Amino acid sequence: MASKLKAGTTNAQNSQFLSAWCSVNDVLRDISPRWKMVLLHGIAHGVKQFSQLKRTFPTLSDQVLGQRLAELVAEGLVEKAAVAGTVPPRIRYSATPKGCALLAIVDDLQRWGQQDWSRDHAEESV
């Protein structure tokens, strides 16, 4: 979830204008915070608990991890569930169908970026 823009500012006006013309800007803004798609990918591929995510991504702070997990849950991309019979209670995260659908699109975007975008920009820098 992106931060709120102060009403009346140039940034807020630009955001409203862009949203009216092309809603993909809103989607890209909402999915692009650092670590968000990496976490969704990790969860979808078997990294299910907070502690596992911390071990997998050791430079990710607890605060940002907690914030991104909360965002993913609130957006319906990830489900959060308590593991029955564990003391203290353990929480497991799993990707929802909506989250898996988004990952398929992001994977396509990544492939496109590797095949087309990177090559085009490498030629420009020469």
| String of DSSP letters for 48-115 | -SHHHHHHHSTTS-HHHHHHHHHHHHHTTSEEEEEETT-SSPEEEEEE-HHHHHHHHHHHHHHHHIII
The pLDDT, as a whole number, for residue 1 is 46
Judge contact between 95 and 72, C-beta under 8 A: no
- Minimum mean pLDDT range among 4-13, 48-57, 83-92, 99-108: 4-13
Tens digit of pLDDT for each residue in 25-74?
A: 888 889 999 999 999 999 999 999 999 999 999 999 999 999 999 999 99
Tens digit of pLDDT for each residue in 89-100?
A: 899 999 999 999
The pLDDT, as a whole number, for residue 124 is 60
The CATH number that domain 33-115 falls under is 1.10.10.10
Q: Where are the domains of the chain?
A: 33-115
